[in-house]
Structure 1
Amino acid sequence: MQAVIKITLAILLLGCLIHFPYGYYQFVRFVAMVGFAYLALEAHQKNQSKQVFIYVVLALLFQPLIKIALGRTIWNIVDVLVAIGLLVSLKINQKTNE
C-alpha cells in the first residue's frame, strides 16, 4: 500500500509543474496531507522515528487549511524534490525487503 501511495503522490506532485486550474493544486494539497499522514502512521507503527518526523513535516507543509505561500517557483522545486524523495524511498525499501 505504501508503494501505491508514494507513486501516486509523486505523480500528483510532478503534475503540479503543469499549469492546471487552481482546484488541482488544492486537491493535491489535500491528498498529499492525507497520504503523508498515513505514511507517518505506518512509520510510527514500525518504530521508524526519522520517517515519522519527515512525513509529519510534509503533511504539515502540504496541508490545505493554513497555506504556506512559497511562490510558484519554490513550490515547483519542493514538489520535484519531494517526488524524487518518495521514489528514492521506494527503491531503498525495495532493496531492504529483498
Structure 2
Amino acid sequence: MPKPIVYLLALLLGVGALPLPYGYYIFLRLVAFLGFGISAYVAYTRKHGVLPWAYGVLAVIFNPFVKVFFPKSVWAAIDLAAALLILVTAKHITTGSSR
C-alpha cells in the first residue's frame, strides 16, 4: 500500500476521535474497513506473524455492513489506537524499499 494512503488513513482515524457528524463516521467505517483489509492481506503475504490478525480484527470492527456498537468514548480510543498501530507498523505494509 502506498505510504500516503497509510498516512491518510491514520489522519482520518485520528480525526475520528473528535465529535463530528454521523456521516463522517459512516465514511470512516468504509475507508478503515478497506484500509485494514488491504493491510491484513499485505502483512499476510509478507509473513508478518500476528500483524495480519490485528489488521483483520480492526477490519471486522470497522466493517460497514454489520455494525459493531460501542460508546463514543470507546470508539475514540479505538480510533486513536488504530491510527497509532497503522503508523507504527507502516513499514511492514507500504510499497517501495523494504529497508
TM-score (norm: length of structure 1): 0.84
Per-residue Cα deviation, 1:37-83 (whole angstroms, up to 9, x for no partner): 11111112112231111111110010011111111001001111111
Normalized per residue, which structure has more helix? Answer: 1
The count of corresponding residues between Structure 1 and Structure 2 is 97
- Percent identical residues: 33
8 A Cα contact 1:33 1:58, kept in partner: yes
Secondary structure of the 1:49 match is coil
Residue in 1 that maps onto 2:12: 12
In the alignment, the residues of structure 1 paired with residue 54 and residue 2 of structure 2 have an alpha-carbon distance, to the nearest angstrom, of: 15
Which residues of 2 match residues 1-98 of structure 1 at below 5 A?
A: 1-90=1-90, 97-98=98-99
- What amino acid is aligned across from residue 6 of structure 1 in structure 2? V
Give 1:10 shift. Answer: 0.9
Quote the RMSD (CA, aligned, Å): 2.2
Please report the TM-score for the alignment, with normalisation by the length of structure 2: 0.83
Whichever residue aligns with residue 31 of structure 2, its letter is: V
Asked if 2 retains the 8 angstrom alpha-carbon contact of 1:2 and 1:39, the reply is no
Q: Output the CA distance in 2 between the equivalents of 1:7 and 1:68.
A: 24
